Amino acid sequence: MGSRIDPDKIKKDFPILKNKMNGKPLIYLDSAATSQKPKIVIDTITDYYENYNANIHRGIYKIAETATERYIESKRKLAGFIGAEKFEEIIYVRNTTEAINLVALTWGASNIKKGDRILISEMEHHSNIVPWQMLAKKKGAIIDYIKMDKNGEGLSDGSFLEQIEKEPKLLAITHVSNVLGSINDVKSMTKIAKKNGATVLVDGAQSVPHMPVNVNEIGCDFFALSGHKMLAPTGIGALYGKMDLLDSMEPLFGGGDMIKNVGFDSYTTNDLPWKFEAGTSNIEGGIALGAAVDYLEKIGMQKVREHEKELTVYALEKLNKIKGLKVFGYGKENIEKRGGVISFSLDKIHPHDVSAVFDSFGIAIRAGHHCAMPLVRGIFKVGALSRMSFYIYNNKRDVDVSIDAINSVKNIFKVK
Amino acid sequence: MPLDIYAEEIISQYEHPHNKGKLPKYDVEFHDENPICGDDITIYVKIENDKIAQVSFEGQGCAISQAGASMLTDFVKGMPITEANRIDYDKIKAIIGLDPGPARMHCAVLSMKALSGALKKYMEHKYK
């Protein structure tokens, strides 16, 4: 493979992209919500059910052994992919939301006390706000917010430094904003937070699918991700946690697989990672996530990042020329701080109307508050935004057709 | 979604809505919103002899919700409360002249919900 991604070649790996939507070739620009799935991932699921469907762990027969091996193998792959040292540090959950809730309900329940501070930011997704609000309500803890900078592009360094001096017990921060694409310097933030005694959780839902990530280099204690945003099926995601922390935590659910011994009046918990995976797991999801990791590694995450940077700059240049269109977040001169997510407003036209016109062009974009109401409504003071988000299967033509769609919106709504 | 939903009449009433703005005198007001899309409508009703004598709205949102409010307020002017209370989604589709489809249904019914809330509030108050 050359030094660059060939999105036209990659498109062919994704069966859904051969389809039409409203009679037009499907252009999928909603990968920040969920990614499409390559044939190899879909085939992996079928292969499991057709050839070695069996419950994992204790089966003493060939196909159960195969299923168990592939499931564990997928954890090794994911651990390697995000720079974790051991597969035991990878807990499979449904998605990022569940991973964050797991930390709130176990680590949070034992470590957050009345009056303790939890530091998050104004740009968080609801999944990294509400679990902490629920915990704070239960415990009488205080939630502080790192403010957005004055341009509403990224987080304010000054606000972070001011808040971290209040010595929060926890810093829970997104790696990449799902609204703005803004990339937070989670490595530096973790270093400073740890110096001030905080435990650090990073929400990696929007970073892991799109750029090289190394949790060990970041130095965070917990890292949450979703499989479905990185080519894997829905219903599989992961929580990475440092061994000693995971060891010290109580399990969330009780049941099969999470125990070593059960007596009539007691139990002992299983080793990691199984301690946190009670009941039969999403076996095919885990194995398919392994296939998705293989697919991404074959392309190379640095190349994925470079491709999205190029596409984002291309789109920003075109969008900035459209009268009445406002892009939120960093401009192209700050592309190093920006992922392939572009939220915009168009004159006073409601994003649902924008999105409906895109739909008629065969283009899938998202319109709404993007599950970040405090940012969209509280900071930007708008009801909703339109959002395009890119991935490996998008090309410049997808951007060009989007520009046509925007011009059509302007015509329909008679905006000059 | 086909672009039929942006029929000339919808765009025209979205740009130049009828009955927009707070009534100088009204008997009841009611606010409703779609938190998902951020659309909101406040409806003002003046009632005489159990009929809708005057009705207006304020709000913001997509073309379907705002043009829909414009068309609905035109439609119910002069109508007995009992009749206005019978307006359902099928009737809304007839009033706005199109079927917005499942994804946009909530936009089309927002003003209907607000009107129905207003009338309920009025009756509750009257027969308290």
Structural domain tally of chain A? 2
B4 interface with A at CB cutoff 8 Å: no
Q: What is the CATH number of the domain that holds A267?
A: 3.40.640.10
- Residue A370 in tokens: 């993007």
Encode pLDDT of A384-407 as tens digits: 999 999 999 999 999 999 999 999
| A292 assigned to some structural domain | yes
Instruction: Identify whether residues A255 and A314 lie together within a single domain.
Output: no
Instruction: Return the pLDDT at A216.
Output: 98
Contact residues for B36 (Cβ-Cβ < 8 A; gap 6+): A368, A369, B106
The pLDDT of A175-183, averaged and rounded, is 98
Label each residue of chain B as H, E or C.
CCHHHHCHHHHHHHHCCCCECCCCCCCEEEEEEECCCCEEEEEEEEEECCEEEEEEEEEECCHHHHHHHHHHHHHHCCCEHHHHCCCCHHHHHHHHCCCCCHHHHHHHHHHHHHHHHHHHHHHHHHCC
| A201 assigned to some structural domain | yes
Instruction: Identify whether residues A279 and A321 lie together within a single domain.
Output: no
Query: Of B6, B15, B38, which has the smallest distance from its Cβ to A384's Cβ?
Result: B38
For residue A2, name the pLDDT band (cuts at 50, 70, 90): low
Q: What is the CATH number of the domain that holds B113?
A: 3.90.1010.10
Q: Do A357 and B3 touch (CB under 8 A)?
A: yes
CA distances (Å), origin A287, targets A40, A54, A59: 12, 13, 17
Encode pLDDT of A311-325 as tens digits: 999 999 999 999 999
Structural domain tally of chain B? 1
For residue A3, name the pLDDT band (cuts at 50, 70, 90): confident
Instruction: Identify whether residues A12 and A82 lie together within a single domain.
Output: no
Selection from A232, A223, A179 nearest residue A203 by Cα: A223
Last residue of a domain, one of A252, A281, A297: A297
Instruction: Return the pLDDT at A327.
Output: 98
In terms of CA atoms, which chain B residue is nearest residue A377? B38
For residue A298, name the pLDDT band (cuts at 50, 70, 90): very high
CA distances (Å), origin A235, targets A228, A395, B6, B28: 7, 28, 37, 48
| A15 assigned to some structural domain | yes
Instruction: Return the pLDDT at B59.
Output: 93
Q: Do A356 and B104 touch (CB under 8 A)?
A: yes
Chain B residues within an 8 Å CB radius of A377: 38
Instruction: Identify whether residues A256 and A364 lie together within a single domain.
Output: no
Please, are residues B125 and B28 in contact by the beta-carbon 8 Å criterion? yes
Selection from A295, A346, A350, A393 nearest residue A26 by Cα: A393
Mean pLDDT computed over every residue of chain A: 97
The alpha carbon dihedral of A69, A73, A74, A79 has a sign of positive
| A101 assigned to some structural domain | yes
Percentage helix, strand, coil, to 5, in chain A?
45, 20, 40
3-class DSSP state of B43 = strand
| A216 assigned to some structural domain | yes
Query: Of B3, B14, B61, which has the smallest distance from its Cβ to A360's Cβ?
Result: B3
Query: Of A369, A382, A412, which has the smallest distance from its Cβ to B11's Cβ?
Result: A412
Please, are residues A32 and A206 in contact by the beta-carbon 8 Å criterion? yes
Q: Which residues of chain B have pLDDT under 50?
A: none
The pLDDT of A158-175, averaged and rounded, is 98
| A236 assigned to some structural domain | yes
In terms of CA atoms, which chain B residue is nearest residue A371? B36
User: Within 10 Å of residue A79's Cβ, how many Cβ atoms?
Assistant: 21
The pLDDT of A19-45, averaged and rounded, is 98
| A38 assigned to some structural domain | no
User: Within 10 Å of residue A33's Cβ, how many Cβ atoms?
Assistant: 18
Selection from B61, B77, B74 nearest residue B110 by Cα: B61
| A285 assigned to some structural domain | yes
Instruction: Identify whether residues A276 and A128 lie together within a single domain.
Output: yes
Provide, rounded to the nearest whole percent, the portion of chain A with pLDDT above 70: 100
Instruction: Return the pLDDT at A1.
Output: 47
Chain centre to alpha carbon of residue B30 = 11
Q: Do B36 and A369 touch (CB under 8 A)?
A: yes
Say whether pLDDT at A345 is over 70.
yes
What's the rounded Cα separation, in Å, for the pair B75 and B99?
Answer: 17
Eight-state DSSP code of residue A38: -
The pLDDT of A7-18, averaged and rounded, is 97
Instruction: Identify whether residues A77 and A210 lie together within a single domain.
Output: yes
Eight-state DSSP code of residue A233: P
In terms of CA atoms, which chain A residue is nearest residue B38? A383
Please, are residues A131 and A161 in contact by the beta-carbon 8 Å criterion? no
Active-site amino acid positions of A: 371
Encode pLDDT of A209-227 as tens digits: 999 999 999 999 999 999 9
Encode pLDDT of B54-68 as tens digits: 999 999 999 999 999
For residue A204, name the pLDDT band (cuts at 50, 70, 90): very high
Instruction: Identify whether residues A165 and A190 lie together within a single domain.
Output: yes
Last residue of a domain, one of A297, A319, A353: A297
Structural domain including A106 reads 43-297
3-class DSSP state of A133 = helix
The complex scores an ipTM of 0.88
Task: Determine the straight-line distance between the first and last CA of chain B, rounded to whole angstroms.
Answer: 46
B107 interface with A at CB cutoff 8 Å: yes
Instruction: Return the pLDDT at A293.
Output: 98
Structural domain including B55 reads 3-126
What's the rounded Cα separation, in Å, for the pair B35 and A351?
Answer: 14
Instruction: Identify whether residues A231 and A339 lie together within a single domain.
Output: no
